[in-house]
Amino acid sequence: MKKLTLLLAASAMSLAAYTASAADELTLQLKWVTQAQFAGYYVAKDKGFYDEVDLDVTIKPGGPDVAPAQVIAGGGADVVVDWMPAALATREKGVPLVNISQVFSRSGMMLTCRKDMGVETPEDFKGKTLGVWFFGNEYPFLSWMDKLKYKTEGADADIKVLKQGFNVDPLLQKQAACVSTMTYNEYWQVIDGGLTPAELTVFPYEDQGVATLEDGLYVMEKSLEDEAMKDKLARFIKASMKGWKYAIENTDEAAEIVLENDATGAQTEKHQKRMMAEIAKLIDTENLGKLNEESYNRTVNILLAGDSKLVISKEPEGAFTQEIWERAQK
């Protein structure tokens, strides 16, 4: 009996070792630094959801000098988090990115402005300096300005576009009348910087009719030609959405998991918990991770609406697939 017990224990250990070694490796490149914006992936890793589907997932933080499309094109990641305008623009330029899952169903992007610098309506933008993020984040803004018939370049430009760093100092220091903010991040930096909501005018892109899809998951087209890779991606989506569901239902715990994974130590508990609560408002839990094709078409139409075709010049083909998300449901 003792020998049988030892044999069973040894077999169990061998099976565990085999399972661990058999886990498929997958690398995810984030769009930005470690923060609650990506909580679902960190939760999935921390809670063992990736282990449950035999995946060994490496999560690579982004930053101001990291372009997810360049990383995946260079073979540095299997999946990237990116905004759809940037992904579609990149695809048109020859890097065949494909959306396999859409986590955020609503846009969190806003233009936040100081009332004491004379901005209360979009008509007040003329002659002002507006802070804008680049590296692909400028596309929704440029489409909006095009819709408003404001020129953003040249000697006769209607507004001055300030290439905004990833902070809100230009607004706090009155170097710009408006800056780009996210509902879950930079807006609260403005508040923490000393300005009150009553002193600000905010223009959510959702309210201005120029909201485009933000954090989605993208792969290279060639990944979808490999059955083994498609299976791996389906398992990744399944576990990631389980992570997001848990994060939305346990926002404080999710924020704490994010903090544990922040190697820089730059994030604070207050900010991450507040961010996670705001992030939860942008996600459709009913069809978690599924790309809404109406929202996709809206994004494309917004990007094509301007006369100058600043982002994309034609309607994309093959830019998304529902196959991986549908496999994940099985």
Q: For the chain, what is the radius of gyration of the CA atoms?
A: 22
- 303 band by pLDDT with thresholds 50, 70 and 90: confident
CA distances from 283 to 189, 272, 324 (A): 22, 17, 19
pLDDT greater than 70 at residue 17:
no
pLDDT greater than 80 at residue 219:
yes
- 311 band by pLDDT with thresholds 50, 70 and 90: confident
Taking a C-beta distance cutoff of 8 angstroms, is the pair 62, 197 a contact?
A: no
Domain ranges (residues) in the chain = 24-106+213-329, 109-204
- The answer regarding whether domain 24-106+213-329 maps to CATH 3.30.420.270 reads no
What is residue 12's predicted lDDT score, i.e. its pLDDT? 52
Please write the tens of the pLDDT for every residue from 47-59. 999 999 999 999 9
What is residue 180's predicted lDDT score, i.e. its pLDDT? 96
CA dihedral (13, 15, 17, 20) in degrees, to 10, reads -140
CATH of domain 109-204: 3.40.190.10
pLDDT greater than 70 at residue 3:
no
What is residue 117's predicted lDDT score, i.e. its pLDDT? 98
The residue type of 203 is: F
What is residue 139's predicted lDDT score, i.e. its pLDDT? 78
**Which distant-in-sequence residues (6+ apart) come within 8 Å of 228 by Cβ?**
none
Kindly report the CA angle at 314 between 313 and 316, in degrees rounded to 5?
125
- 20 band by pLDDT with thresholds 50, 70 and 90: very low
Mean pLDDT rounded to a whole number for the chain: 91
- 15 band by pLDDT with thresholds 50, 70 and 90: very low
What is residue 14's predicted lDDT score, i.e. its pLDDT? 47
- 143 band by pLDDT with thresholds 50, 70 and 90: confident
Name the residue with higher pLDDT: 135 or 115: 115
Residue 180 CB-half CA count within 13 A: 21
Please write the tens of the pLDDT for every residue from 243-272. 999 999 999 999 999 999 999 998 999 999
Please write the tens of the pLDDT for every residue from 180-196. 999 999 999 999 999 99
Pairing type for strands 216-220 and 79-82 reads: antiparallel
What is residue 18's predicted lDDT score, i.e. its pLDDT? 42
Please write the tens of the pLDDT for every residue from 160-181. 999 998 789 999 999 999 999 9
pLDDT greater than 90 at residue 94:
yes
CA distances from 265 to 33, 260, 269 (A): 11, 9, 11
Average pLDDT over residues 113-124: 97
pLDDT greater than 60 at residue 216:
yes
* Sheet-wide strand order for 79-82: 55-60, 24-29, 79-82, 216-220, 97-102
Alpha helix stretches (DSSP H) within 74-216: 84-92, 138-147, 169-172, 186-192
Which token pair is 222?
A: 């060639």
Residue 146 CB-half CA count within 13 A: 17
Which token pair is 246?
A: 């848990």
Taking a C-beta distance cutoff of 8 angstroms, is the pair 285, 248 a contact?
A: yes
pLDDT greater than 60 at residue 44:
yes
Tell me, yes or no, if the two domains 24-106+213-329 and 109-204 fold the same way.
yes
Tell me how far apart the alpha carbons of residues 25 and 122 are, in angstroms, rounded to a whole number. 48
What is residue 38's predicted lDDT score, i.e. its pLDDT? 98
What is residue 310's predicted lDDT score, i.e. its pLDDT? 65
For residue 264, count other CB atoms closer than 10 A to its CB. Answer: 9
pLDDT greater than 70 at residue 209:
yes
Percentage of the chain surpassing pLDDT 70? 92
Name the residue with higher pLDDT: 5 or 175: 175
pLDDT greater than 60 at residue 130:
yes
Helix (H) or strand (E) holding 249: helix 227-249
CA distances from 304 to 98, 172, 307, 314 (A): 19, 34, 8, 7
